[in-house]
Amino acid sequence: MTTLFILLLVLPALLGVLALIAGREIRGFCMVAGSLILLGLAAWVIDLAYPALPEGVTPYLGTFPWLSPGREPVKVIGFRLDALSCIMLAVTTLMGCFVILFSTEYMSVRNVEHPTEEGNPRYYFWLMMFVGSMIGVSLSPNFLMLLWFWEITTLCSWVLISHYRHEARSLRAGYKALIMTHGGGLFFALATVLVFTKTGSFEFSALRDLDRPTLWIVTFLFLIAAWVKSAEGPFFTWLPDAMEAPTPVSAYLHAAAMVKAGVYLMARITLASGNVPASIGMITVIMSLATIVVGLIFFFYQDDLKRLLAFSTITHLGYILLGIGLGMLGSQAGIKGGVLHIPCHAVGKTLLFLCVGRIAMLLGTKNISEISGLFRKMPVTSFAFTVGLFSIMGVPPFSCFFSKVILFSGAMELGGWIGFAILIPFALEAVIALFWFLRVGQNVFFKEPSPIVTRLYDPKDRPFFGRLIARVIFITLSGLSVAIPWIMFTFVDRLGG
């Protein structure tokens, strides 16, 4: 199994190098084939580790003796695959496959919005590195190794957000994301150093050996790092600006990559520490609810479909952190609902972003005010977008319905005024967001065609292979929008420290 873990980390880097040297004719094929191999390897290691859940498997390859002279060498380089890692690894590799496959059509001269293939070798190199760094985040067995891959995701996101180098907004958005998220990484590094100096270990379980005041400080530092990484609270501003990135990058960034790393960190800490201070749990819950409300307010001011989806992501990451905060306060249903929301949201949001990418590459615009009546020209995309909308809004039987119900149960599990106070903004956001997204969907797809839609030539006149790629992705993700919670329930039930 150790060999498979190593392959999971090494293969993305090799594919990235291949992207730089491969010819234009075979580059896309190589990237898609490589991502499918990665997905197969991930499924293989998950299958091998499943019998060992909830403890999972934690093989180590190397130690740092110089960090602990006279004592047992510090374990650093290794892998950890438990239920939480299985969920993140599955999301990371599966969504990566869809994004890379979609990129083969999107990153071409057939894209009306950005009709260029300039920089494609660089694009695929950093996208494969992004996938590899998220695999590293998923499999890291301790804080130090997690910090390494955490910072690599920051680097990859900066380059990919700034992909369109000739556009000033793209460059500004990339630098903003880099500065803010790296600033959050400094809090992560400080917390990691504190854990090591107090316990002599980088293990997640070392949190159990900290005294209560130090545990509070360390957990709060990690929480700040997670807030910045996941664009929560006052640190949310970098994420809407990051929509200057190519749409497949936006899909991966929101659904499976960097923003999910922050909530993954807090879920890992909550499960590993066993007893997070209740005050940290209350801070997490309050900040999550505030972020959900603020994100909801910004819905009403967005004309760009990608920016609308960005603020939707901010609110859904608030849902996940809310569930984790409930778990810190003692609600088992809360932490399970929060973790389940990671894959449930990932599928729906990937579907929505790729639908918007398809719309933009045909129309040359993502502005809601310019698009209406699109169903007549793009029925498959319209259907898929509607499925994605129902999925993230929690309409049964789609994915987020199940995670939201469990989150509701987690709030009720606390009881008293706290549980009631949490339920009110939670329920209001769910209802208002559903209403607003239905309104947007009706305007974009089902009203009379707008001039820009009327002028759109029949998409059937486009290359058959490009249409086939879009349809395969949209139909598969639509099916997963129903199936994913049932697949993930078995892992959520086996969550452990």
d(Cα 434, Cα 430) in Å, to the nearest integer?
A: 6
pLDDT in tens, 232-275: 989 999 999 999 999 999 999 988 788 999 999 999 999 998 78
pLDDT score, position 23: 87
Q: Cβ-count burial of 432 within 10 angstroms (0-12 exposed, 13-18 middle, 19+ buried)? A: middle
For the cut 90, the answer to whether the pLDDT of residue 163 exceeds it is: yes
Spell out the alpha helix ranges (H) of 303-378. Answer: 305-328, 332-363
Enter the DSSP assignment of 206. Answer: G
For the cut 80, the answer to whether the pLDDT of residue 384 exceeds it is: yes
Residues 89 and 343 sit within 8 Å (Cβ to Cβ): no
For the cut 80, the answer to whether the pLDDT of residue 497 exceeds it is: no
**pLDDT level of residue 69 (50, 70, 90 thresholds):** low
pLDDT score, position 456: 77
Averaged over 459-479, what is the pLDDT? 85
pLDDT in tens, 271-322: 998 789 999 999 999 999 999 999 999 999 999 999 999 999 999 999 999 9
For the cut 60, the answer to whether the pLDDT of residue 459 exceeds it is: no
pLDDT in tens, 76-133: 899 999 999 999 999 999 999 999 999 999 999 889 998 988 899 999 999 999 999 9
pLDDT score, position 255: 83
Residues 61 and 78 sit within 8 Å (Cβ to Cβ): yes
Spell out the alpha helix ranges (H) of 163-211. Answer: 168-199
Lowest mean pLDDT among 44-48, 246-250, 417-421: 417-421
The pair of three-digit structure tokens given for residue 296, joined into one six-digit string: 């909801």
Percent of the chain with pLDDT over 70: 98
pLDDT score, position 43: 97
pLDDT score, position 458: 63
**pLDDT level of residue 137 (50, 70, 90 thresholds):** very high
How many helical (H) and strand (E) elements, i.e. helices and strands, does the chain have?
A: 18, 2
d(Cα 237, Cα 227) in Å, to the nearest integer?
A: 12
What predicted TM-score, i.e. pTM, was given to this entire model? 0.96
Percent of the chain with pLDDT over 90: 80
